Amino acid sequence: MARIPLPEPADMDPRHRAQYERFPSNLTRTLTVMDSRLSEALPETANALRASALAPSWREGVILRVAALTGSAYERWQHLDQARQHWSDEQIAVIETTAGADRSVLPTGFARLLDLVDLLVPGLPVPDDVLAAVRRTLDDRDLVTVIVLVGHYLTVARLTTVLGVDLDPALDTWTHEH
């Protein structure tokens, strides 16, 4: 059960209700506690990230890694099916294992990217060699996209874990913008 009362759709102002109807979820209910301008920023960023040039497999893999590192069951729940479209169960297990996993089942470039994600999530400095290894795989646009992706899903993880946001009864289809 959420640690704060979440607005019911019937009690939302028209702008928040429209937002909820685009993505009827407990995360959206949480966001509608804020001013509309703020509550709309997170879904707009998610839409932009989904439309970016970053490979969907890498995007979903990074999201699962952030979920694993932060303990966000909500984030994992909403993205696991998307990740399964691109990764095997064995690869997902490695992505979600935050220490000591044999990454040989992952593409080398993605394994290097996990090193970056592992530093970004706790806010640690990124050494030159880690950044250089990632830049051998990603262009600068995708690199910046990954950094924003991690920050975005860190925000989602903090909202859902700190506030105890319940899992949704059904997964989102991800067939339309939020």
- The number of folded domains in the chain is 1
**pLDDT tens by residue, 5-54:** 999 999 999 999 999 999 999 999 999 999 999 999 999 999 999 999 99
Count of CB atoms situated within 10 Å of the CB of 57: 16
**pLDDT tens by residue, 165-174:** 999 988 887 7
- Show the domain range for 110: 1-178
CATH number of the domain to which 15 belongs: 1.20.1290.10
Quick one: the chain helix, strand, coil %, rounded to 5?
Answer: 65, 0, 35
